[in-house]
Every structure is written in structure tokens, then in C-alpha cells.
Amino acid sequence: MNLDAQWITGFVDGEGCFHVGISKHKEMTMGHQVLPEFTVVQHERDIQILHALKAYFDCGVVRKNNGDRMSYRVRDKQHLRDIIVPFFIKHPLKTKKRQDFEIFRKVLLMMDVGDHLNEGGLRKIREAAAKMNRGKLR
Amino acid sequence: MNLDAQWITGFVDGEGCFHVGISKHKEMTMGHQVLPEFTVVQHERDIQILHALKAYFDCGVVRKNNGDRMSYRVRDKQHLRDIIVPFFIKHPLKTKKRQDFEIFRKVLLMMDVGDHLNEGGLRKIREAAAKMNRGKLR
């Protein structure tokens, strides 16, 4: 299945999620792991769409989510930085999800300069992440 | 906001719903009303998307849904037949929602020939409608 860039943007405006997870992790410098990820979750009946997204972006994985749901997920920071972010700069989201994307992009830039490795930077990342995914339907 | 046809298809693949409601209605010939509708529901923060869809299709209404959600809705059978259905024939959905669309289209054709006005036809419509919107996330 070949996907069109505008179709992908529309679909991600509906179903996509830009998320920055922050969790405790003893082995990390600041005792916390910052985990930016881009995901699209679908009912398993539409798994072929997730594989088509993976093929289009040529990165990420298709994995089981909860119950009968599957997800396409990109966590690799280089792939996020070099593939996912440039795509959504070129093909801007039209919903308010674009604000999440902008924060997501900013967090990746902050991580590039090592902000997640010092206390002040980690706090800034935490504040930015808290502003994401508000007013979601689910 | 100008929308691209492929963006709309992608967004509807994610967020759109083709539905055929069948409810009791004393004043209708068969004692039941058959109500096909096309809807897109969004959090109120994205109401501008719903108005952009309305402007693009030049039909339908934007209404309050539940709580903080708003919906774009087309119920007028002529608009469904002449605007919505031809659009999704020209720009096919890529998810399994396309199957819902095909049933929806079939029900509209059945109503065109008056199937909803006789018992056998109404039963066929009911059977078709029961096959729609399975495996939905919500």
C-alpha cells in the first residue's frame, strides 16, 4: 500500500501521538530516562496501515499495544530527528496536535544539547512534556 | 483553512464515522426511521477543522456533541449522495473504514429505490447496518 504525504498528515492529525515519557531509571545520569516517541495506534484489523507507515518512513516498529490494538512506534532519536520531524515540518499538521509536535521537536533539540543530563534542563523538559496531549479524546 | 483532499481522506480514515441509525418513529411508513449520517467528532479545541470540512464539502452542520466534543455532521440524503459519497469514491479510504463506507453507500442506494419503505427492504438495511463500525477503538 502506497501512502500519500497529505493522507499521512491527515491520519496522524487524527490518530497519531507525539509523547515524551519521563521515568525513573537508576542507570541514567539524572536518575531519570527521557523517552520521546511518535506512535500511531490502530485496531489490529488495520495493521496493514501501520506497516505501510513503517515502510513509508523506513524506520520504527509495529508492535502489539493493548488488547486488540497494534501500534506503529518510533523511539530512535536519530530517526525522530532526521525522518519524523522533517516530515511534519514539510507537511504541517492542521489540528492542535501541531502544538504537541512543536513541543516534541523542542524537547528533541533540548536533548541534542544535553539538557536531559542536568537538573535545570530536565526540569525544563518536564515542564514542556506536561503541556503535551491535553484535551485528548482518549 | 484550506484542506487537501488526501488530508481529508487520511483524517476521516482516523476520525470519521459512517453510520446508519434505525430508530422507532410512529409517523414513518414502516414505523421506523432510517438515518444515514456521516460525522467527524473532535475535541472543541479543533472546532476550526470541523468548520473547514463544512466549508470544503459545502454542506452539513457543526454541532455540539458530548461534553467538550464537537461534531461535523451530514444527514441530508441528497448531500450524502451527491457530495460525500462521490468524494470518497474519488479519494478512497485506506483503512477498513472503507468497508463501512461501502455499506453506507449501498444503504443510500437501497433507500433511493425505497427499500426502507417495505419490510423486506428494511430488514436488508438493518442487516447491512449491523455490519458497520465493528472493531472500533471507541
Q: Split chain B (138 residues) into runs of 10 and give each run's mean pLDDT.
A: 95 96 84 94 96 98 95 97 98 96 96 89 92 65
Residue B137 resides in a domain: no
The model's pTM:
0.92
Residue B136 resides in a domain: no
What is the tally of structural domains in chain A? 1
Nearest C-alpha in B relative to A136: B43
Residue A136 resides in a domain: no
Residue A75 resides in a domain: yes
Residue B135 resides in a domain: no
> pLDDT tens, A46-85?
999 999 999 999 999 999 999 999 999 999 999 999 999 9
Q: How close is the nearest chain B Cα to the Cα of A133, in Å?
A: 12
Q: Which domain holds residue A11?
A: 5-130
Cβ-contact B58, B82 below 8 angstroms = no
**ipTM, two decimals:** 0.90
Select from B6, B94, B96 the Cβ nearest to the Cβ of A1.
B94
Res A136: pLDDT: 53
Select from B6, B43, B46 the Cβ nearest to the Cβ of A10.
B6
Residue A106 resides in a domain: yes
Residue B79 resides in a domain: yes
- Mean pLDDT over A97-126 rounds to 93
Strands annotated E in B44-138 = 61-64, 69-74
Residue A135 resides in a domain: no
CATH code of the domain covering residue B24: 3.10.28.10
Cβ-contact A85, A108 below 8 angstroms = yes
